[in-house]
Amino acid sequence: MTVLSKLSGRALYEAIGKPKTIVAPMVDQSELAWRILSRRYGADLCYTPMFHAKLFATQEKYRKDMMSELDGDEKVDRPLIVQFCANDPEYLLQAARLVADKCDAVDLNLGCPQGIAKKGNYGSFLMDDWKLVHRLIKHLHENLSIPVTAKIRVYDDKEKSLEYAKMVLDAGAQFLTIHGRTREMKGQQTGLANWETLKYIRDNLPDDTVFFANGNILYSDDLGRCLEKVNADAVMSAEGNLFNPGVFWTATEDKEKQFPRLDRIVREYFEVLKTTPGYASRKALKSHLFRLLRTFLPIHTDVRAEIAAIHKGTTLDEIEEKVVRKIESIVESIFGQEDIEELDSIKDGPIEFWGGSYKEVPYWRCQPYFRPVDGISGKEVVKKLSEKKRPQAETPSEEVLKKRKQE
């Protein structure tokens, strides 16, 4: 097996094919089956879910649950970066050594903002302890046979954010991924990632720094805008990818790739899952279905009930019969309508103050999720902000969507 042993920065980036689109590390969600599917829709590089370094180093069951014999396979799952959360340099090294022959680099999670990370003292809560962050990265850099990378968040202060990024690089990180949100920006307070801060950091780091940007990717159109605005080497997506794997598709203007039909993407994912070994991929099935079908399930509540009923003992044959085939039947009937060409069109909204635009996408196709804020849909919140910034702006019509849902 080829291991890109100790390649540094730019040389490592070139050796793995100079990726532009990246599946983010997501707890229980960027598992093998999802990575295989995402690569088919344009993902150049994938990260594993975040693994707990101490558990991975000390518990065989945890390791087997998290990774199978096919994870990191050169034919189906590379390039790959394995991510760990940690607060102990030695446990981190022990865990990293166990995957050194299955990936191209090991990443340290310094961005998780959830309560579990605060309780466990890892992720973004290590932003309060720069000395520990430096020791964690340096210990891997000096003792691991493959490179180490890091994923961080920004502070409200862009100068402090820059100094933090410099420290992480000084410790030995070969790639730097920066999420343009602060630690406090999560849940209903997520808001927009700050590309201006990302650009400021990038502009003030050495030219040869490998820099990945994360945040604000709703559509494939946003990838190019982000690359240009931030001057990043690549763009990472988490939530955007989960609700629509086609978010990474830029090779062609192909609606079937950029906004896949739900019947086809569910079938494709299910067929991948059937051939994917290990516990992690099967465990993630239910969550992936709920996200892919977010706009579909409020209308077809019988399908939602079937997915909700899936449990550990449900067989793949049962899932295929009760969920996959049911979705296929419903979408096929939709496409049997005489006016389907008009109904199935995707319409661009006006350019918003943040540089992109919303699209009206039929509910039977994958599309982004707009996070609610204080009980109001995320789309409506940004609509109000947009009206303040640009009083004459039009906004995408909701009437068409309501009409289609009724149909």
- From 46, 85, 103, 112, active-site residue: 112
Q: Is 85 labeled as catalytic in the residue annotation? A: no
Q: Do 288 and 242 meet the contact criterion of CB atoms below 8 Å apart?
A: yes
Distance CA(396)–CA(243), nearest Å, equals 20
Distance CA(305)–CA(311), nearest Å, equals 12
Q: What is the CA radius of gyration of the chain?
A: 21
Distance CA(16)–CA(289), nearest Å, equals 31
Q: Hey, which bits of 180-303 come out as E strands?
A: 210-214, 234-237
What tokens does 138 get?
């340096």
Instruction: Quickly list DSSP for 265-278.
Output: HHHHHHHHHHT--S
Distance CA(230)–CA(236), nearest Å, equals 13
Give the end-to-end CA distance of the chain in Å, rounded to a whole number. 54
Three-class DSSP category at 203:
helix
Instruction: Quickly list DSSP for 318-340.
Output: HHIIIIIHHHHHHHHHHTTSTTH
Q: Do 273 and 280 meet the contact criterion of CB atoms below 8 Å apart?
A: no
Three-class DSSP category at 397:
coil
Distance CA(142)–CA(81), nearest Å, equals 18
Q: Do 81 and 103 meet the contact criterion of CB atoms below 8 Å apart?
A: yes
Catalytic residues: 112
